Chain A
Amino acid sequence: MTADIRRGVSLYSFQNETFQGKMSLEDCIRACAALGARGIEIIGEQSFWGWPEVGVDEAAVSEWHRLMRVYDTVPVSHDFMLDYKRYKDRDMPFDEQVASVRKDVEFGARLGMKFIRALVSIAPEVLVAAAPYAEEKGIKILIEVHAPLHFDHPWIIRHAEAFEKSGSDALGFLPDMGMFLHAYPRVWKEKFLRLGVPRNIADYVEKAYADRILSEYVILNVQQMGGTGPAIAMAEVMRHNAAFEPKRMLDYMHRIHNVHGKFYEMTEDYVEPSIPYDEIVRVLNKGGYRGYICSEYEGNRWIEDAEEPDSVEQVRRQQVMLARLLGEEAVPALKTLVAA
């Protein structure tokens, strides 16, 4: 199938600004639209106060649809959480988990979403049980394949097998590009240096990551170099992140319907130094991917102790990178100030 890759943004990217009330929902959507990123993904409960425990009134949903019309944007995904640890000392019962997913299917449908995102720790049986309702509502439930998990992990294979066995096309995957972490992110290293990690140890961990050394060896070496506290933590990050290969997505293309364009830093010359987006776009084209790549800026939490993140500028740079990789002729630009 011919690929049809479109640009979108997860409003997760603007969390530093929205948390502080510096950007409204409309500011976020206006910024995405200005960049030609027409697909809008949200974490429902981040963008809509009250969801899920209290609920969201119809006025807020109408306003969402008004914004989609005014800015000519497209609802892509409502990312839900399913808090199965809602009760202290006991997990939420199976039937209640399924009912909770059905509520999110319904909320996704109210917002006009095509997809809802399930967290990777949710059991496949829960999603399979919710699939018929999702089909009825025209929604696909996509489990987010996110580091430390990856497409060859037994847990993901179990999901894939359950999806195939169910025979439902309302179940699928949403890969997060952070699982293809080809270099130790610079913003992570800088944060650990600020936390007091000695320069020689930080350089060693960065080099060991580039050399693809097994995390356990790196942790031991850091201990033997005299590393403590944050130095160990800097090495332990390698337990949860690795340079898996984008081509591993190819076996699952028929179930991949949305992609998280995770990034930690976009440089002034439009490069994400730790995630190989050129290779990722090549693989998605080869696999005939038809859907959005939604920017997901996650560098904010790594720099906020030292500087105020500029999430809009970071997203702009990634959108420029994506537009170039996708062969678009016009370069996305912010023509007007995004936030007042």
Chain B
Amino acid sequence: MMDNKMICTELFENVVENNETIGFAFLGRLPYYRGLGLSMIEDIKVEVDGEAIAREDIRFSVRGKAYTLDQMETVYDDRWNFGEKARIVALKPGGLAPGKHRIGFAVRMRVSYLPFVPTTKDSKELLLAA
């Protein structure tokens, strides 16, 4: 559900901190008909041009608050709301070269009433402006 709407196309950029390009960022949505408390986001996977980003190099932020995936596991007072665009940062020294890149994005979530743990993914080609 909502698979093809997970990766948003309006933002795709390199992330610069202290004059250093530390990675890239895009906006992602939870593929679900409701939101989830952050502790129930079991994993987020990001790929760029077929290369997987390590779990510890992914940052998730909503409404200006940033979390590592490990931190999210014990966050009980914040949510990824229905349709809310989270800023997903992948740490990758030097960032990405301008041009087209194939982004993969997958979310594994713990849903109380389901007898399995679903992973939903999307893949889109995004254009990084020069």
A residues neighboring B (CB under 8 Å): 12, 15, 18-21, 43, 45-46, 49-50, 53-54, 81-88, 119-121, 300-301, 304-305
Is B21 an interface position by the 8 A CB rule? no
- Render B33-54 as a binary contact track against A, CB cut-off 8 A, 1 for contact: 1111101101000000000000
Q: Using A43-B34, A49-B35, A54-B78 as known contacts, say yes or no to A119 and B83 having CB atoms under 8 A apart.
A: no
Chain B residues positioned under 8 Å from A15 (CB to CB): 33
Chain A residues positioned under 8 Å from B35 (CB to CB): 45-46, 49
- Render B86-130 as a binary contact track against A, CB cut-off 8 A, 1 for contact: 000000000000000000000000111100000000000000000
On whether the beta carbons of A83 and B40 are closer than 8 Å, the reply is: yes
Instruction: Select one of A20, A43, A53, A301 contacting B77, CB under 8 A.
Output: A53
Q: Using A19-B29, A83-B40, A119-B113 as known contacts, say yes or no to A53 and B76 having CB atoms under 8 A apart.
A: yes
Which residue on B lies nearest to A121, using beta carbons? B113
B residues neighboring A (CB under 8 Å): 1-5, 29, 33-37, 39-40, 42, 73, 76-79, 81-84, 110-113
On whether the beta carbons of B2 and A87 are closer than 8 Å, the reply is: no
Chain A residues positioned under 8 Å from B1 (CB to CB): 300-301, 304
Q: List 17 A-B contacts (CB under 8 A).
A: A15-B33, A19-B2, A43-B33, A45-B79, A46-B82, A49-B84, A50-B81, A53-B37, A53-B76, A53-B78, A54-B77, A82-B112, A83-B112, A85-B110, A88-B73, A304-B1, A304-B2
A19 to B80, CA, bound (A): 13
* Smallest CB separation, A67 vs chain B (Å): 18
